[in-house]
Amino acid sequence: MNCLFCKIASHEIPSQIVYEDDDVVAFNDINPVAPHHILIIPREHISTLNDLKEEHKAMTGHILLTAQKLAKELDIAETGYRVVFNCNRGAGQAVFHIHLHLIGGRSLTWPPG
């Protein structure tokens, strides 16, 4: 498979990995929009949120709990952070491997643009 994020997850491509376990990998975004901007991906290749199935419930929950864990470690849990999944090009998805953006470390406005 020629997926950038699969290659990051398998350590074929170097990245600033901040967390990994058997199911997910978290790494710093190369184009951060805030002081803390981490992408959290499943090791399993799933192209978009539209491709999720019932058997992915535990994994998607694990992604969110990983975001919570990292936010606490980064000391942004209490001041606030944003989590974002983009689905397809019209929503800004550029890499077709689902990923959650964990964004924090500055005031965030709404709507996000």
**In terms of Cα–Cα distance, which of 72, 79, 80, 81 is closest to 100?**
81
Distance, CA of 55 to CA of 83 (rounded, Å): 22
Catalytic residue among 11, 45, 56, 99: 99
- 97 annotated active-site: no
Adjacency order of strands within the sheet including 17-20: 17-20, 24-28, 36-42, 100-104, 81-85
Q: Is the peptide bond before 14 cis (omega within 30 degrees of 0)?
A: no
Q: Reduced to 3 DSSP states, what percent helix, strand and coil does the chain have, rounded to the nearest 5?
A: 30, 25, 50
Residue numbers annotated as active site: 99
